[in-house]
Homo-oligomer: A and B are copies of this chain.
Amino acid sequence: MGLGKNYEGQDCSLARSLELLGERWTLLIVRDALYGVRRYGDFLSHLDIPRAVLSQRLSALVDAGVMERRRYQESPPREEYVLTGKGKELWPPVLALAQWGERHMSAAGPRRVFRHVPCDAPIGAGATCSVCGAHVPAGEVEIWPGPGADLTREDPVSVALRGPHRMLEPLP
């Protein structure tokens, strides 16, 4: 998507968001990051994204302050990408889009189920807990495979997500 090139005339915060997030692949990268994916190679194998695009998108997310690139070992030097606070706040829109897709685009039932850990209760509309009713931050969410989950993928991230997993905890 033409970064900064087009949506500029739009008098709308949605357009501001989409200049960054509306690019192909970008929201899927953020979703994976929320799940806990941190390494270049894991994004690559889980998303099946061209390497050049992944590099460009990660740089854009870092430049926008949504992710942070940091060295997690010195020898050999290895970088990881983690969400900043700004990035973690993308959890409600990502969930809202996923829930819409689940209701309207997914025939086989939910692929993933999200639970509020303190309440051990499912999460409903607007990222609120169905028991305590509070807005649930990403860190209090556990991801479970749902009935519509695809069990054929063999990349490390897909394999790790066959069991429950706390969101934002490193994966795999």
Contacts and interface: CB of A to CB of B under 8 A. Distances in A.
Contacts of A170: none
A7 B24 CA distance: 10
Interface in A38-88: 47-48, 65, 86
A103 B14 CA distance: 11
Interface residues of A, number: 53
Nearest to A133: B133
| Number of copies of chain A assembled together | 2
Given A1-B24, A12-B31, A158-B11, A17 B97 contact: yes
Given A11-B111, A48-B9, A125 B92 contact: yes
Nearest to A90: B100
The 10 closest A-B pairs by CB, nearest first: A126-B126, A17-B101, A13-B101, A93-B96, A16-B105, A11-B150, A14-B98, A16-B101, A13-B102, A93-B97
A56 B31 CA distance: 28
B126 A12 contact: no
A47 to B, nearest CB: 7
Given A96-B96, A97-B17, A12 B112 contact: yes
